[in-house]
């Protein structure tokens, strides 16, 4: 594996290996044990969009591993003045040991990878968010021990995070049900790809059907970065898809409620559920750092 552009760039065994590494790195950090496995190595972090978790978790991960991270706002780069993605990628490959990129168009991160001689990691595009799902699998394994016989219910917009979740579930052999309004379905090619991997994927318009007896409920924002022009329509269309106490009641009693964050209480998730006993959202956020450390080591060490 050279790049991580799509969740499907990972195999089942690579995911398990990364989760095992992440668990070990997490435990070491808690004991205050430092490692310098990426000493003197620099990671470039290109951002076209805002970020709290991704930026900070990658930067701290690099620091903890003895390396260095450079935050590169795409607007401040020559990219913003018309330098090509391929030239940018060739040049950065001469300085750095790895690149992460958060972009509007999935094609941008693909082009970066195609023209790079160093690993490129998708730090969120309009199509996928593999780093999020890798960390989420770590969180699920912490709470449920393994993935066998679990039912994962996604409720809301079939967006970038949903696409990666569908592929991630297929790769670890976990059933996924997606409940979304008509017109908000996840990408058909992703669903097809997941099914070809042996994934059990159900798409429905009925949140109650998806959530019944679920082990995991997952929410994400209704208005993703780049969708701001559709805000009003999205809030109306997605209103019946809020994860609230009524839906949680239909799931298993030990259901965990997940959200990649940032959250909008009162929209995709009620405050009561977000801040309630089933919520594991801050563990997920923490696990971004541990999972990404494993990924950086695998790709850059």
Identify the DSSP state of 216.
Answer: E
- Comparing CB distances to ligand NVA, the nearer of 5 and 260 is 260
CB of 124 to ligand CP, least distance (A): 6
* Tokens linked to 147: 């993935």
Whether the CA torsion 8, 113, 187, 73 is positive or negative: it is: positive
Distance CA 33, CA 53 (A): 23
If one asks whether residue 159 binds ligand NVA (CB under 6 A), the answer comes out as yes
Contacts of ligand NVA in 96-155 (CB under 6 A):
124
CB of 227 to ligand NVA, least distance (A): 8
> Which of 260, 280, 281, 296 is the binder for ligand CP (CB under 6 A)?
260
221 binds, among ligand CP, ligand NVA, none (CB under 5 to 8 A by kind): ligand NVA
If one asks whether residue 225 binds ligand NVA (CB under 6 A), the answer comes out as yes
If one asks whether residue 108 binds ligand CP (CB under 6 A), the answer comes out as no
Number of chain residues interacting with ligand NVA (CB under 6 A):
9
159 binds, among ligand CP, ligand NVA, none (CB under 5 to 8 A by kind): ligand NVA
If one asks whether residue 132 binds ligand CP (CB under 6 A), the answer comes out as yes
Distance CA 124, CA 192 (A): 21
**Residue tagged 């059933």 (tokens):** 175
Which of 248, 224, 245, 246 lies closest to 234 in space, CA to CA? Answer: 224
Active-site residue flag, 31: no
Q: Which secondary-structure segment (H or E) carries 178?
A: strand 175-179
Distance CA 220, CA 214 (A): 17
Distance CA 82, CA 267 (A): 38
- φ/ψ of residue 259, rounded to 5: -155, 135
Contacts with ligand CP by CB under 6 A lie at 51-54, 124, 132, 260-262
Contacts with ligand NVA by CB under 6 A lie at 124, 159-161, 220-221, 224-225, 260
Please give the positions annotated as active site. Answer: 102, 129, 132, 220, 260, 288
């Amino acid at each position: 594996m050279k790049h991580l552009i799509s969740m499907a760039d990972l195999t089942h065994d690579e995911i398990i290996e990364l989760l095992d590494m992440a668990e070990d790195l997490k435990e070491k950090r808690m004991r205050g044990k430092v490692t310098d496995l990426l000493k003197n190595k620099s990671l470039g972090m290109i951002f076209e969009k805002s970020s709290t978790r991704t930026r900070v978790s990658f930067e701290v991960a690099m620091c903890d591993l003895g390396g260095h991270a450079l935050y590169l706002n795409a607007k401040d780069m020559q990219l913003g003045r018309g330098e090509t993605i391929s030239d940018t990628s060739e040049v950065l490959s001469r300085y750095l040991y790895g690149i992460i990129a958060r972009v509007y168009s999935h094609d941008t991160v693909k082009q970066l990878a195609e023209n790079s001689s160093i690993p490129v990691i998708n730090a969120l595009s309009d199509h996928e968010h593999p780093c999020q799902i890798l960390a989420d699998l770590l969180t699920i394994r912490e709470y449920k021990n393994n993935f066998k016989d679990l039912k994962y219910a996604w409720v809301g917009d079939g967006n970038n995070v949903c696409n990666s979740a569908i592929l991630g579930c297929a790769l670890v052999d976990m059933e996924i049900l997606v409940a979304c309004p008509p017109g908000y379905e996840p990408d058909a090619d992703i669903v097809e790809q997941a099914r070809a991997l042996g994934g059990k994927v159900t798409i429905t318009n009925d949140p109650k059907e998806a959530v019944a007896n679920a082990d995991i409920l997952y929410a994400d924002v209704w208005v993703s970065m780049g969708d701001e022009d559709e805000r009003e329509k999205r809030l109306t269309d997605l209103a019946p898809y809020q994860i609230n106490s009524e839906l949680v009641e239909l799931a298993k009693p030990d259901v965990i409620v997940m959200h990649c964050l940032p959250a909008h209480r009162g929209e995709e998730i009620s405050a009561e559920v977000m801040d309630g006993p089933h919520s594991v959202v801050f563990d997920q956020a923490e696990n971004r750092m541990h999972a990404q450390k494993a990924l950086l080591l695998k790709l850059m060490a």
